[in-house]
Amino acid sequence: MIAKPRDRPQRRPREDGIRTVTGSSFTPLVLEGKGPIVVEFMSYGCAHCRVIEPLLQQVAEIVKSGETIFRVNVAIEQELAASYEIEGTPTLLMFLDGKEVGRSEGPTPTSAGLLRAVTQPFES
């Protein structure tokens, strides 16, 4: 007898304060964007990326009125990652009015550390 799979309740998608950008949307959203923009270059297979994901969501909630946070999946957007010389994930790039003004590479284990990494390049 073949076991019938149990019906599982559908999970509601969680709120995501971080939008995904692609090679085709990167220029209009990031390079032509106004104000402070953070781009996380990540991969869903990256253990460090999975660890910082909830922390980055918290940071996105804290800075939502002043900064925009995007993500780029390097497994799909390899050309875009190569154009910014991304050698490991996670890597955060900070842009101000289309110009790169900061970079943070590797895991940041606390939300305070992550908040500092994404806001410090924009401080006067």
Q: Catalytic amino acids?
A: 46, 49
Token readout for 32 is 């032509």
Give CA angle at 41 (10, 107), nearest 5°: 90
Q: In what helix (H) or strand (E) does residue 117 lie, and over which residues does it extend?
A: helix 111-119
Q: What CA–CA distance (Å, rounded) separates 82 from 54?
A: 26
